Amino acid sequence: MNELIRDIVYLLVGVSVLLVGMHFMSGGLKKIAGKGLKRFFKKTQHNPFLGMGIGLLITILIQSSDATSALVIGFINAGVMEMYQGLSIMLGGYIGTTITGILASFSSLSISVYLLLFAFIGTVMMFFSQERVKSIGEILCGLGLLFFGLAVMKDAFANADISAFCKSMFSSINFPPLLFLIGVVLAIIAQSSSAVTGIVIAMISGGALPLGSGLYIALGATLGTVTNTLLSSINGNVDGKRTAVIAFALRALTSIVAMVILWVAETPIVNFLHLMAINGSDAFPLAMFTVLYNIIFMPLLLPLLKPSIRLFTKLIKDKESVDAASAVQYIDDKLLKSPEVALMQTRLEIVHMFDLAYKNYVAGLGKIFEYTKEKNKEISLTEKQIDYLNSRITDFLIKLAPLTPESEETKIGAHFHVINDIERIGDHGFNFSEAADSLAQEDLSFSEAAKKEIKQMDGELRAMFEVAREAYLNKDSKSLSFLREKEANVHKLKQDFYDAHYERVLKDECSQKMTPYISSLIVELERIADHLTNIGYSVVNPTGDSSEEKQIARKKKRAGRK
């Protein structure tokens, strides 16, 4: 009994070490390959075979088809990748992830004990200061831990009691669809088909599971892991959701068809795979089965991509969401696996927030000129969405900051300042709407002369909105002088409008009751101009502050270098 308990503990520890090893290996590979992901993805264009090749290569590098799929969904949400292009990359990713099974099958080799040294070598390398050396160390350490976890599990499964229990259990459920379902559930729990394949390989190596049963479990795992893609699409736009559903549907189609074929022709297929056995172990045959399955079926799905896109575009309608959380379009915590992509997505989300703030500015000020209650609900919802985005982006940046290299820290700081400026612009737009309601309740309104002056300031601000957005989105510093000029114009107009209003009051051409309203309005318009200038200057000054003193200091510093 003591020996049985010991081996059960070893089995649990082996599974844990295997998962930790895969995490280390994947993390190190992603750090090395992460900077080139965007460039690789952009090379696919509309060539599906090239897309599959890129997906295959990226997944081999980062050892995670889930990560590849999450990045693809992120690009599609950002509008920089089409569904057809993204799906072809994901199909290639499914082939690439099988390399982990091949590596795991090496545990059956006689030299496998020496492969454990990778863990020691990698650990030593992780103490080096160079980031690249540390990342390679993570890869080697993870590889060594993977082999160690497999070795521990193999020995545990070799225990007579555990082996007998597993054989008895799987012989009693030797029904292909049920074994397939077990693989689906295990992959959902482990969030990795590679991890499930590794566990199955250890069971086969230890004699606890026959090859035939293992094949069905491995097939089920290939479907279970796609559920992570569905989860990664929840907060995205409608195209991201369609892509995830199509990927799941196609994966379900191929895995179920393969299961039926295997069920019908299990004996000849298993006999053929036995020919690939190494040292009498069926570990390598199982790994090769997953490779052959993906290499055969994934290319066959390419002709189905466009019809699937047309079908699911009709089935999944682009419905407008009515809750604040739905405002999030581009960022998702799964993107934190690739900080470079996460930063790009953050910029796009901030621009989206900027557009919502502009929308409320136009709607709120519009009520001043022509009062109506019809847009109150829409303005209120947009304000809630802006506030939600402010909170959500802030939380995302806090999580992202420790993952980015020091060279990117200034960008993170700039984003914090920009979203604060945008949130304040949104508040001003909402304040205009509330001011219009108060004016209506008191039966007051701006004079035609005052409206004309406000529209003059509004014209300056609308031009600033357009330029500030362009400057921030495309890092265009050429238009900063335009923003500064317009900001100065707004400051001057503010004083001119003050003087003109008081002159009208003295001439009894305007009610004194309007003074608090016009004073508050033009002050808020002036502050919007300040916020827009700060947003534009975030391109050249990470603090988001456009003060003259700091601009002069920068010029002096550059002159000193020359």
- The two three-digit tokens of residue 115, written as one number: 């492969």
Residue 72 burial (CB count, 10 A): 29
277 and 285 in contact (C-beta within 8 Å)? yes
pLDDT class of 224 with cuts at 50, 70, 90: confident
- Helix then strand count (H, E) for the chain reads 24, 0
- Do 295 and 415 share a domain, yes or no? no
- Do 274 and 355 share a domain, yes or no? no
Q: Between the CA of residue 84 and those of 44, 48, 309, 542, what are the distances in Å?
A: 10, 8, 7, 37
**pLDDT confidence of residue 447:** 81
CA–CA separation, 207 and 214 (whole Å): 11
pLDDT class of 553 with cuts at 50, 70, 90: very low
- Do 306 and 336 share a domain, yes or no? no
pLDDT tens-digit readout, 112-162: 566 677 788 888 888 887 777 887 888 778 767 766 766 666 666 566 666
Q: Is residue 322 assigned to a domain?
A: no
**pLDDT confidence of residue 548:** 43
- The two three-digit tokens of residue 517, written as one number: 């309203």
CA–CA separation, 294 and 289 (whole Å): 9
Structural domain including 306 reads 2-315
Q: Is residue 321 assigned to a domain?
A: no
- Per residue, the 3-state secondary structure of 83-145, as one string, reads HHHHHHHHHHHHHHCCHHHHHHHHHHCCCHHHHCHHHHHHHHHCCCCCHHHHHHHHHHHHHHH
Q: Where is average pLDDT lowest: 71-85, 104-118, 202-216, 445-459?
A: 104-118
* pLDDT at residue 372 greater than cutoff 60: yes
Q: Where is average pLDDT lowest: 70-84, 269-283, 440-454, 514-528?
A: 70-84
CA–CA separation, 72 and 244 (whole Å): 10
- Which residues are CB-neighbours of 175 under 8 A, at least 6 positions away? none
How many residues are listed for the chain in this entry?
Answer: 562
**pLDDT confidence of residue 322:** 42
| Cα-to-chain-centroid distance, residue 473 | 19
pLDDT tens-digit readout, 61-71: 665 676 677 66
CA–CA separation, 154 and 148 (whole Å): 10
Q: Is residue 532 assigned to a domain?
A: yes
- The two three-digit tokens of residue 410, written as one number: 């200034």
- Do 342 and 279 share a domain, yes or no? no
SS3 (DSSP) at 277: coil
- The two three-digit tokens of residue 186, written as one number: 């295990």
Q: Is residue 26 assigned to a domain?
A: yes
pLDDT tens-digit readout, 448-507: 888 888 888 899 999 999 988 888 887 777 778 888 888 899 888 888 888 888 888 787
393 and 349 in contact (C-beta within 8 Å)? yes
Chosen domain end from 269, 285, 315: 315
95 and 294 in contact (C-beta within 8 Å)? yes
Chosen domain end from 264, 294, 315: 315
CA–CA separation, 255 and 272 (whole Å): 20
- Do 350 and 491 share a domain, yes or no? yes
323 and 66 in contact (C-beta within 8 Å)? no
Q: Where is average pLDDT lowest: 139-153, 291-305, 535-549?
A: 535-549
pLDDT tens-digit readout, 11-37: 677 667 766 765 666 566 556 555 455
**Rounded (5°) CA angle 269-271-272:** 65
For residues 502-518, average pLDDT: 80
- The two three-digit tokens of residue 318, written as one number: 């682009």
- Do 356 and 472 share a domain, yes or no? yes
> What is the tally of structural domains in the chain?
2
CA–CA separation, 88 and 302 (whole Å): 7
- Do 339 and 287 share a domain, yes or no? no
Q: Is residue 25 assigned to a domain?
A: yes
Question: Average per-residue pLDDT in the chain?
Answer: 78
Q: Is residue 547 assigned to a domain?
A: yes
**pLDDT confidence of residue 551:** 45
CA–CA separation, 340 and 497 (whole Å): 47
CA–CA separation, 89 and 94 (whole Å): 9
- Do 338 and 288 share a domain, yes or no? no
pLDDT class of 249 with cuts at 50, 70, 90: very high
Looking up residue 425, the CATH number of its domain turns out to be: 1.20.58.220
Question: For 281, phi and psi rounded to 5 degrees?
Answer: -100, 140
**Rounded (5°) CA angle 227-327-403:** 65
Chosen domain end from 262, 291, 315: 315
For residues 502-514, average pLDDT: 79
CA–CA separation, 63 and 481 (whole Å): 48
**pLDDT confidence of residue 559:** 41
Q: Is residue 340 assigned to a domain?
A: yes
Does the pTM surpass 0.75? The reply is no
CA–CA separation, 330 and 415 (whole Å): 15
- Do 248 and 289 share a domain, yes or no? yes
- Do 306 and 389 share a domain, yes or no? no
The burial of 194, by beta-carbon neighbours within 10 Å (0-12 exposed, 13-18 middle, 19 or more buried), is given as: buried
**pLDDT confidence of residue 51:** 82
Q: Is residue 320 assigned to a domain?
A: no
- Do 175 and 268 share a domain, yes or no? yes
**Rounded (5°) CA angle 313-384-321:** 15
- Do 210 and 336 share a domain, yes or no? no
- The two three-digit tokens of residue 154, written as one number: 């193999």
